[in-house]
Amino acid sequence: MAHSESPTTDPVAAAGSRRSRSFAARHGPALAAAVTTLVLLLILSAFLPRRSVDRVPPPPGRWFDDRAGLVSSEFAAAKSTYLQSYLLQVLHLPILVVVEPTVPSGGIEDYTASAANAWKIGAQGADNGVVLFVFPSVRTIRLEVGYGLEGLLPDIEARHLVDATLLPKFAAGRYEDGFEDFFTALVKQLQEHADEAAKADKPIGIVAFAMEILRQVPRLARQAWQLFRSADAVGRVVLALFGATLAAVFGYGLSGVTIGAWALVQLPWRIATGSAWRCLGRQKLAAEFAPAQFVRRPPASLVAVVDELRLGEILWGLLSLAGIVVGIAFLGLGSEAVMGGHGQFSGGGVTEVWPLPAASLKGRP
């Protein structure tokens, strides 16, 4: 007896149908996740600030950053604490000192103006930053004054300040005394402006603050490695335990962010293919939210929707991200991890050269 196959049972057609269905079933979530990720990245790119293509100088490591060894390490550490803990946090006067061992190839004033604007020392809205650059190899001082201080500290006043404090002491080789006199005179002149700067200062958002700290991670890692190498056995154990704990906590939070992000990019696909949210009804929800039922167990319909759409994982990812941001900001709070702010510089300031000590001039024709 001859056997005839109907079109619906044709093996070739059935295999093709299975392949088309399996492709959608297997690759649909991944394709939907890719499209959602692309859309989120495009939206995020619209809010990210544009970065200049010009190479900016690296930020200093301390508020008194003596890179040339001009003064003692004890003096530099004490003045760094003074500039950060007292002048910045109490008087709201952001003053940065950078001693450079070499002269920049592009010229001193171009370098200092670019560096001051890149580091953005000063408060947003007040632009009250002051950056003192010292180049001992060419005996040159450059004082960069924030845009908001140009009326209070014009170029002629800045020149008089440098000439009266730094030049005579530097010419005599008494560098620490020169810095002391400069700080005293500058603070006295800017003291009246300090209260106005505090009122004008617009606080940096916690996200922006955390991002600033993340940009300093390579420098902080190098400093931590140097500290680890110079520590004794007990110090190394303490630093290793602290680093391991920090890495574990950060890794745990990062894993939550990863899981939540993956659930988020798959959310459109789950909404399109899900069935739990389609079964929601007013009468059913009213019955589940009745006091007698609600006390016994949470609404089963909403629990099914949350599980199907993986909303719990998304929420956990958001909480993990918030925890990471707050943790980073807390670690950097009150430290020198973030040297800058939101101040602007317009190029106002003064450049001076101190003379050689009188003793070194003896015997010269």
Give the 3-state DSSP-derived string for 7-43, with helices as H, strands as E and coil as C.
Answer: HHHCHHHHHHHHHHHHHHHHHHHHHHHHHHHHHHHHH
The Cα–Cα gap between 309 and 312 comes to 8
Among the four given CATH numbers 3.10.310.50, 2.40.110.10, 3.40.50.12280, 3.90.1150.10, the one describing domain 64-202+341-357: 3.10.310.50
Burial 95-106 (b: 16+ CB within 10 A, else e): bbbbbbeeebee
Are 175 and 70 within 8 A, CB to CB?
yes
Taking residues 9-31, report their average pLDDT.
55
Tell me how far apart the alpha carbons of residues 35 and 338 are, in angstroms, rounded to a whole number: 36
Say yes or no to pLDDT of 24 above 60. Answer: no
Answer positive or negative: Cα dihedral of 166, 170, 172, 178. Answer: positive
Please say whether the beta carbons of 173 and 356 come within 8 A: no
Helix residue ranges per DSSP H, 48-107 = 73-81
Mean pLDDT of the chain: 77
Helix-helix angle 206-215:217-230, to 10 degrees: 60
What six digits make up the tokens of 192? 């009246």
**According to the model, what pLDDT value does residue 275 have?**
83
Answer with the residue of higher pLDDT: 47 or 217.
217
**What mean pLDDT comes out for the span 49-73?**
75
What residue ranges do the domains of the chain occupy? 64-202+341-357, 219-332
Task: Give the residue-averaged pLDDT of 320-331.
Answer: 79
Measuring CA to CA, which residue among 50, 49, 67 is closest to residue 58?
Answer: 67
Q: Check pLDDT > 50 for residue 53.
A: no
| Alpha-carbon span 173 to 96, nearest angstrom | 21
Residue 224 has pLDDT above 60, yes or no: yes
Q: How many helices (H) and strands (E) in the chain?
A: 13, 5
125 vs 141, higher pLDDT: 141
Least Cα distance to 98 among 137, 56, 67 occurs for 67
- Retrieve residue 328's tokens: 């980073």
* Dist CA 81 CA 66 (whole Å): 13
Q: Which residues contact 318 (CB under 8 A, 6 or more apart)?
A: 260
Residue 12 pLDDT greater than 50, yes or no: no
